[in-house]
Amino acid sequence: MAEPFELIGFRYSVYTRIVRIALIETGTKARYLEVDPFAGDAALDRFTPLGKVPVLRHGNFTLTETAAILRYLARITGCGHLLPEDPRTLARMEQVMGVADSSLYWPLVRQVFSHGFYGPLMQEAHDPRQVAVGLEAGRPGLELLDAISAEGLVLGGESRSLADLHLAPMIDYFTRVQAGAEALAEYPALCAWWRGMADSPMLLMTEPFPSAAPPVE
């Protein structure tokens, strides 16, 4: 019997959603365990001392860090098409994933999305001023990814890679705020890539807000 997969995550976490998308894309079935890292869920301590999601377990093998999980899934499931063979294309894929983590996650998700959509929707504390701060802080990363997308190796290239899976949930959250959607429109190549991704089955199947209100103005 093949070793079972288990995903430990938080349904609203953009990184948990990235791994859920990767599971779908690779045709991998996994048991799901919901934990809330923001509530100090003790169940998470059984899997990682870092207190962060997602965590992937494959039999007795436990793996954290979303980028590492995606690479592992691509290799272990034989979905090598998600890892480009061409060195430059592979490097661009890894660059996109790194830029998303280092330069876009905080401003686009933790500032624009959290204070412009998630906080109001969940009736949690939020500061609308953080939307403008996040928009400005996210511009350099968006500009860089727009140039990469225009180049044509990844993000709109001939085939999908892990870069698409990694970036799509962040842009989805970002554009749920009207100001975020308007900002993305300033980057034509990246915007064209997003138009091709926005209605993809992998995003629809992992929708964390099935009855959410329209984007907040």
Residue 144 structure tokens: 């860089």
CATH topology for the 84-204 domain: Glutathione S-transferase Yfyf (Class Pi); Chain A, domain 2 (1.20.1050)
* Contact status, residue 6 vs residue 30, Cβ threshold 8 Å: yes
Which residue bears the tokens 């554009």?
Answer: 175
Q: Which residues contact 151 (CB under 8 A, 6 or more apart)?
A: 92
Count of residues for the chain?
217
What's residue 212's pLDDT? Answer: 57
Q: Residue 149: phi, psi to the nearest 5? A: -65, -40
- Give residue 214's pLDDT band: very low, low, confident or very high (50, 70, 90): very low
Q: How much is the mean pLDDT over the chain? A: 94
pTM of the model: 0.94
Which is higher by pLDDT, 156 or 183?
Answer: 183
Among 134, 131, 121, which Cα is nearest to 214's?
121
CATH topology for the 5-81 domain: Glutaredoxin (3.40.30)
Domain boundaries, the chain: 5-81, 84-204
